[in-house]
Every structure is written in C-alpha cells, then in structure tokens.
Amino acid sequence: MNDLLIQNIKALVLPKKTDRPLKGKELDELEVIENGTVVVKDGKIVYSGKHTDEYEAKETIDATGKVVSPALVDAHTHLIHGGSREHEMTLKRQGVSYLEILEQGGGILSTVEATREATEDQLFEKAEHDLLTMIHHGVLAVESKSGYGLDKENELKQLRVSRRLQEKYNLDMRHTFLGPHAVPKEAESNAQFLQEMIDLLPEVKEYADFADIFCETGVFSIEESKRYMEAAQKEGFKVKIHADEIDPLGGLGLAIDEGAISADHLVASSDEDKKKLKDSDTVAVLLPGTTFYLGKESYADARGMLEQNGAIAIATDYNPGSCVTNNLQMVMAIAALKLKLSPNEIWNAVTVNAAKAIDVDAGTINEGDKANIVIWHAPNHEYIPYHYGINHAEKVIKDGKVIVDHQLQLS
C-alpha cells in the first residue's frame, strides 16, 4: 500500500531531471500537467503524471484547484548571523552607498561584531526561526554561508550552527565557508587576512561543502580571489564566488575559468564574460531581491545570459544588510518583473537549476525522487510570481509527510 496519493491536481509542475543545469532556451521548457496525480511510498515518488485511478494509498489529498510542484531550493543565503541592520535604511534613503556604509564600519563589519558577540546557541535560535520561515514558504533545500566571523573561532561557530540545523530538521542543506567576505578591522592587510582564511581551509573542510569569496572593489581582487579559489580546490572544495555585484572586475570570467559550481550576483558582469557561459556549466545565481532592496536601477542581465546559452538560477541572498527577505516566492516575483523571466524560466531557476548550483539532489519530483512537494493555493503556476509578497504555500510535504499546513480558517 502506498503512503500518500495527491489527486485532482489542477496544475502539476514537473521540472526535467538532468545531469547538468538547464541552459539557454532549455530554461523555458517546463512540463505542466493538467489534472495530475502524485503517488508516494516510503518517502519517494512512485508516480507523477496525468490523472490515474490505478493507485491506492493510506492517505489521500484532494488538490482540486491547486498547483503541485517540487519544493523550492534557495541556493544563496547568509542564514547564520547575529543582529540586524535596520538603522542602515536611513543611510540608504539619504543616498549613502553600500561601500560607503562599509567604509564607515557598518555593513558587513557591524554584523561581524554582532555575530562574534552572540553565543552559538543564540545564533542557532535566530537562524532556526529564519529557516522555519523558509520552510513555511515552500523551501526544503538551502545553501547556508558563513562569513560574519572573519576569524577562526567565529567562522567555525557559524558553520557548526548550520550543521546543527541540518541535523535537527534533516534538510537538504549545503554549507559554504565564506571566510573572505570582508577584511576585519584588526587585519594588518588584505593579503595577511586572506592567508589566514586559506590556512583555515583544512579545518573548515569538516563542516563546509563549498568555499566562497567576495570579489569586489574594496574587498578582494581578481588575483586574490583566484589564489583563494585554487587553494580551496586543492583542499577538495568546490568553489563559488560573489562576483561583479557592483563593479565589472571579471569575477564571472574567473569563475568559469576555475570551473566554479556557481558565480553569484553578476549585476555588472561584462558582455565578454557572459559569452563564456555557453561553454560552461557554472550556474549564474542571480539575486534580484538584493538589487531591489538596494534601490539600484540596473539588474543582472538574465536575458543576455540565456541568449548566450548560459545556466541561471534565482535565490534570495537572505542577509541582514542588502536583502532582508527569506521569502523566495517574493524574489520569484521580482525575477518576473525586473529580470523579465517567464514563469517557466522562474520555476526551473528555483528548482532544478538552483539544485545544480549547490550540488543537491532536489528540485524534481519524478519517479524515485524524494517526495519533497509543495501544494500551492493558486490556480496555475504563473499565478505565484504574479500575486507577490504573500505566502501561497498551502502544504509543505517532506519525505512524503505533511509538515506544514496553511489552510486558512478562523477558530
């Protein structure tokens, strides 16, 4: 006997299972089945497709009028951090730039101070609330970065918290060491601090899956980023890079040359580097919520990247300074409005391609896949990025069991 039968699905969203990220026009190819059925046994998908009465199960969910999809994947978050930075909104309104706030000891450095002061349990409690918010919004696979410790003790503290969250909730989580996220006040020089982070790589390997670096004006140069990435690869890490967020330094090109699993932000990437995407499986992880929050007019050139046959994903960049949302649905709406992506492209970008960007088996619900599913209170898959700013997830199903139920009613 099967465990769960989801029947009468108005629109069943089935991203394609693939060995590599979807590229170019492939991102707009999405199977959406009307009147679908999903069958689950032992936490795995037994069947997903057109309506059938061939299956019985211990539990049946009637999804009449609803959308069913794989659970979402958030491929770029700064989940573990202390404090908050709401006071910086006033500076932003006055036109003070992100880099100027950083130079004044704000920005990343103020979060570093708050993270260093917080105990491991305090960080866990704060991050747990944020992670549960993500789950309630339909996310069951998450990448979590360090980068607010900027020293051995506190970087390891962040990564331990990230691991504790994964163990408690048994989620598909990936953990990223972002030690070179900024240069701390006490550092003698960029070079000296970068060497400290390189020296920390062997110890970090116990906790982290990826190594990341912030390549930007006033932080780390292309040459420094290359040195770090190559040192990390020698230690067995797959590498990522915060690249071309503000200035076109060439971080996307470096990521492709180094075979990085992803390059993230890419608002200012050059046309020359975007052309390299066609010969690469490096995923361009675009973070339009950050551009929106910072009030910038220019967004990453998603359409240009797809025209070059590149692979893109969409993520929140949840962090306390430049994108204070852990609602991936909201970012899907921004991707539609500002990146000019189609609904099909958006769904693939937050499922199968986001999963490729963090090397996790997620984002699809084909036969044999994990039964990580969301039932959406929406008439079709286009409606979710259209009706923005709210939570459309009605039920979140993990390993075939309903763990979140948001059916609205008053007691």
| Residue list, annotated binding site for Zn(2+) | 76, 78, 242, 317
| Contact (Cβ atoms closer than 8 angstroms) between residue 287 and residue 269 | no
Cα-only R_g, the chain: 21
Residue 257's CB is within 10 A of a number of other CB atoms, namely 15
- Length, in residues, of the chain: 411
Helix boundaries (H) for 170-294: 190-204, 222-234, 251-257, 271-275, 288-293
Determine the Cα–Cα distance for residues 331 and 75; give it in Å rounded to an integer: 12
Annotated binding-site residues for N-formimidoyl-L-glutamate read: 148, 319, 321
d(Cα 313, Cα 291) in Å, to the nearest integer? 15
- Inter-residue contact 285 to 355 (CB < 8 Å): no
Q: What is the distance between the alpha carbons of residues 327 and 315, in angstroms, rounded to a whole number?
A: 10
CA distance 277 to 351: 20
What single letter denotes the amino acid at residue 352?
A: V
Q: Please, what is the Cα angle at 260 between 257 and 263, to 5 degrees?
A: 100
Annotated binding-site residues for Fe(3+) read 76, 78, 242, 317
In angstroms, rounded to a whole number, what is the distance separating the alpha carbons of residues 213 and 198? 11
Q: Which residues are annotated as a binding site?
A: 76, 78, 85, 148, 181, 242, 245, 317, 319, 321-322
**Residues forming the annotated binding site for 4-imidazolone-5-propanoate?**
85, 148, 181, 245, 322
Q: Where are the beta strands (DSSP E) in 1-75?
A: 2-14, 31-41, 44-50, 57-62, 67-70, 72-74
User: Phi then psi for 266, rounded to 5 degrees?
Assistant: 65, 25
Phi, psi values for residue 226, rounded to 5°: -60, -45
Give Cα 341 to chain centroid, integer Å: 17
